[in-house]
Structure 1
Amino acid sequence: MDNEQDTQNSGSSNNTFPLHFVSREEMREPDPADGQAWTDRGNNAAANEDYETAAECFERAVAADPEDARARYNLALAQQYLGDTELAIAGYRRAIDLDPNLIDSYINLGNLYGEIGMYEESLETFQQGLELDPQSDELYLSVGDTYRLQNLYRDAIQAYRQALMLNPDNTLAADNLRDVRERVNDQYRRMMEQERRIDEDPADPTRYAELASIQLDMHRYDEALSLANQMIALDPQGRAGYDMLAAVYEQMGDAEQAAEIYQRIANQHPEDPDVWEKLGFWRSLQDRTNEAIVAYERAVELDAQRTTARFSLAEAYLEADRYADALPIYQNMVDTGEGLLQDDDLAAAFAGLAEAYNSLGRHDEAMRVSHQLLERFEDDPEGYYQLAVAYDGLNRPNDAIENYLNAIDADPLNADYYNDLADTLLTEKRYDEALEYAQQAIAMDPSLTVAYETLAQVYDALGRGDEAEEARIQARELRSATGA
């Protein structure tokens, strides 16, 4: 019987969810290869709220049996108690990969995603949990809270109602439902007040714009689109209606329509760099990289100091394999950015410059830039990653492995880091370690096609041909689905 221990999620208000440490047997003196003994010792430490010791014990349990999903889960839970959110997320994802029926992993993982603002991943995780346990009022409560954080009140109401149907005594669901109702009522009051203002002057397009903004807040897209079109009808030559139309499509995530509207605005107002930059963004989302480059180039031409457009242009050049074109943009930002760029932007410029050098095969220069980045911004994950790539390119695998590990420590959520580390470990014939990191890459991003290809190569090296073929089939299916 598993012991249960509940706590409140420190990163989420009005939301309590269970954190269960898994215990199986009584404590006994652990042996290095005895995962069960380390699990029991970890549970004992957790019961005494010594989570650092618990984490150390669960790490030993994982080392003893890397395929033990519950050991992974327990380690992630201890890391969650210690505030190591990203490490905990990585651990829960691996636990789910090993045991897709471990329902508590979905609950804790979804809540952690919500804590760091990854709401789409949070909702996806909760929905996966509900497929396993459709009667969980706790999961519906978490779904409602996630929707509420995004101001998706109608969806939140439905989730809270479902939680209460399953458990009428769920007081948090009842309280949060009342809170959402108040917010919805306030939105309706604002909407009716703006409707009255339009009635006072139906020919004023700006009043429609304010009402459309309220409708957008309420995620009532059809109404907002209708209002934007009314603005265009009232002032066909004006820009406000088209700006509102673009804003609606942006919030809807409709890349095709958003790009079409921004193209129209750019044609009418060709001297506006902001419009060209937004057009470039939506063209990028359409995978129309060359058109995105043209738009970004125009934005930079109109405003050479426009940092976001310069970054986007350099990234688009990298996407198009135009590394030599990306290089001077990043170099200029590195040379002139001190005191002008925010620290995050300056670090990104160094990382982009190192990536451009690595892509050009100029690994010594990539190393130099990566070291400069790490000297200025200690433990920057991209600094370690680009350094590792450079070492790989220079055939220094041990140094590459060390820096891939450093990158993972700094950013445990980046699936590419795990996959590239697995690839290097594979070349060094460290097959068991390569298998672990390839599987972790897939756990972090199940859509990462190259990770399945790496996994297949590892299985081939281990003589596990059937599993290698299964991994290749998954890779082919992903490539077919994405058109890659």
Structure 2
Amino acid sequence: MSDVINSVSPSVESPETYLQFGDRYLAANNLPLALKNYQRALAINPEFAAAHERIGSIYHQQGNFMEAITSFSKAVQLNPQSLESQLGLGNAYQQMGWSELAITHFQKALELHPDRFLAEYHCKLGDSFKERGRLADAIDSYERAISTNPDYVDGYRAIAQVHFQSNDPEAVNTIYERADNHSSELLQAKDYNALGVAYLQKISSISSDQESLKEELESKAIACFEKAIQIDPAYADAHCNLGSTFLRRDQLKDAILAYKEAIDIDPNFAQPYFNLGIVLNNIGKVDEAIACFQSAINLVPTWAEAHQYLSMLLSRKV
């Protein structure tokens, strides 16, 4: 391809020609040659907005965000109507943590091209709102992402994340129900596992005299972990969390089975060995507990608490 480029006669040289060559190299993921051709286009016409935009995209892909901002800014200056340049500038500012500037350019892109503003872009705008603490605006953007594409699972997850951070698992459950009602294929085991963990964390904010509420939250957590396992039976983390919830309810046999299932699925997962060691020690199976703590330490040698339990049990045996 380089021989073809070098053989182009002066009579047909144009910024558009080099832009086309650059686009071909960019499609082939040959960034250096793509960049070279875009720069050739600018050598002919320094005011060629499309070449500045493409160069900005390459810099952004390479992680050179300040250079990307410079190129996208020039492109926007030359062609303020360009969706790609406005979005590119918004993305680059977002990567630099300059959320207000990112919001400005995402909103400008939305204003200019509402019909081409994809669900992904609505989520990016929402992320910048969330970064600035404008949670209502963030949720509105995420809702527009879902409205634009009801199959866009990241829109549902983005709303859920806002509620996770607010320690509101019921609101998370509501958005999950919406996603599931639209399509049972959208959410994954990790989503329900995270919701189950949120229900358990909610318990820590409940006063000690609200036993019935704690039991209700535990039941909801169990349902979430079981849903995660139903979706992905080989999801070891959900089995481990299910075991811990059973342990909270003194359902020791169920807890032991859940921990052992997690270990069978992933023998290199240290947490269920440790948890199982605690249960086995509590029911007097000291030798088995020692083996579990040793296994946990073999996997995570720096685990101080596992070392403490192991040392305590070994000293008792002596």
Bin the TM-score by the shorter chain. 0.5 to 0.7
Unaligned segments of structure 1, at least 5 residues: 1-187, 443-454, 467-484
Q: Is the 8 A contact 1:299 1:309 kept in 2?
A: no
Aligned with 2:173 (options 367, 374, 382): 367
Q: Is the 8 A contact 1:323 1:360 kept in 2?
A: no
Matching residue's letter, 1:399: K
Q: Name 2:94's counterpart in structure 1.
A: 284
Q: Name 1:309's counterpart in structure 2.
A: 121
Q: Is the 8 A contact 1:373 1:383 kept in 2?
A: no
Query: Residue 209 of structure 1: CA displacement?
Result: 1.8
1:323 has 2:142 as partner = no
Query: Residue 310 of structure 1: CA displacement?
Result: 0.9
Matching residue's letter, 2:42: I
Q: Is the 8 A contact 1:370 1:386 kept in 2?
A: no
Q: Name 1:267's counterpart in structure 2.
A: 77
Q: Name 1:353's counterpart in structure 2.
A: 159
Q: Name 1:293's counterpart in structure 2.
A: 103
The 1:213/1:192 distance shift into structure 2, 3 A limit, reads farther
Query: Residue 284 of structure 1: CA displacement?
Result: 3.2
- Per-residue CA deviations over 1:282-309 (Å, capped at 9, x if unaligned) read 3333444454334323333434452332
The 1:325/1:214 distance shift into structure 2, 3 A limit, reads closer
Q: Is the 8 A contact 2:167 2:202 kept in 1?
A: no
**CA distance in structure 1 between the aligned counterparts of 2:97 and 2:232, rounded to whole angstroms:** 27
Aligned with 1:403 (options 220, 224, 234): 224
Query: Residue 279 of structure 1: CA displacement?
Result: 2.0
**CA distance in structure 2 between the aligned counterparts of 1:409 and 1:287, rounded to whole angstroms:** 39
Query: Residue 252 of structure 1: CA displacement?
Result: 3.8
Aligned with 1:233 (options 15, 33, 43): 43
The 1:261/1:362 distance shift into structure 2, 3 A limit, reads same
Query: Residue 262 of structure 1: CA displacement?
Result: 1.5
Aligned with 2:149 (options 337, 341, 346): 341
**CA distance in structure 1 between the aligned counterparts of 2:232 and 2:157, rounded to whole angstroms:** 14
1:24-35 equivalence runs, <5 A = none
**CA distance in structure 2 between the aligned counterparts of 1:456 and 1:293, rounded to whole angstroms:** 46
Query: Residue 235 of structure 1: CA displacement?
Result: 1.1
**Percent of pairs identical after alignment?**
16
Q: Name 1:482's counterpart in structure 2.
A: none
Q: Name 1:460's counterpart in structure 2.
A: 305
- Per-residue CA deviations over 1:169-197 (Å, capped at 9, x if unaligned) read xxxxxxxxxxxxxxxxxxx4xx433443x
1:192 has 2:13 as partner = no
Q: Name 2:291's counterpart in structure 1.
A: none
Q: State the SS of the aligned residue for 1:378.
A: coil
- Per-residue CA deviations over 1:23-72 (Å, capped at 9, x if unaligned) read xxxxxxxxxxxxxxxxxxxxxxxxxxxxxxxxxxxxxxxxxxxxxxxxxx
Matching residue's letter, 1:302: L
Q: State the SS of the aligned residue for 2:48.
A: coil
Unaligned segments of structure 2, at least 5 residues: 204-216, 249-254, 272-299, 312-318
Matching residue's letter, 1:392: L
**CA distance in structure 2 between the aligned counterparts of 1:372 and 1:215, rounded to whole angstroms:** 43
Q: Is the 8 A contact 1:385 1:404 kept in 2?
A: yes
The 1:371/1:262 distance shift into structure 2, 3 A limit, reads same
The 1:330/1:363 distance shift into structure 2, 3 A limit, reads same
Matching residue's letter, 2:305: D
Matching residue's letter, 1:310: H
Aligned-residue Cα RMSD (Å) equals: 4.4
**CA distance in structure 1 between the aligned counterparts of 2:112 and 2:40, rounded to whole angstroms:** 32
The 1:277/1:441 distance shift into structure 2, 3 A limit, reads farther
1:209 has 2:19 as partner = yes
**CA distance in structure 2 between the aligned counterparts of 1:202 and 1:314, rounded to whole angstroms:** 45
- Per-residue CA deviations over 1:111-134 (Å, capped at 9, x if unaligned) read xxxxxxxxxxxxxxxxxxxxxxxx
Matching residue's letter, 2:109: A
Query: Residue 274 of structure 1: CA displacement?
Result: 3.0
Matching residue's letter, 2:162: A
Q: Name 2:199's counterpart in structure 1.
A: 391
Matching residue's letter, 2:164: N
Query: Residue 314 of structure 1: CA displacement?
Result: 1.5
**CA distance in structure 2 between the aligned counterparts of 1:272 and 1:315, rounded to whole angstroms:** 22
- Per-residue CA deviations over 1:78-120 (Å, capped at 9, x if unaligned) read xxxxxxxxxxxxxxxxxxxxxxxxxxxxxxxxxxxxxxxxxxx
Scaled by the length of structure 2, the TM-score of the pair is 0.61
1:46-85 equivalence runs, <5 A = none
- Per-residue CA deviations over 1:255-294 (Å, capped at 9, x if unaligned) read 3422331233223333333322222223333444454334
Q: State the SS of the aligned residue for 1:460.
A: helix
Q: Name 1:31's counterpart in structure 2.
A: none
1:376 has 2:203 as partner = no
Query: Residue 208 of structure 1: CA displacement?
Result: 1.5
**CA distance in structure 2 between the aligned counterparts of 1:329 and 1:219, rounded to whole angstroms:** 32
The 1:393/1:285 distance shift into structure 2, 3 A limit, reads same
**CA distance in structure 1 between the aligned counterparts of 2:93 and 2:242, rounded to whole angstroms:** 32
Corresponding pairs, count: 256
The 1:438/1:206 distance shift into structure 2, 3 A limit, reads farther
1:243 has 2:30 as partner = no
Query: Residue 319 of structure 1: CA displacement?
Result: 4.7
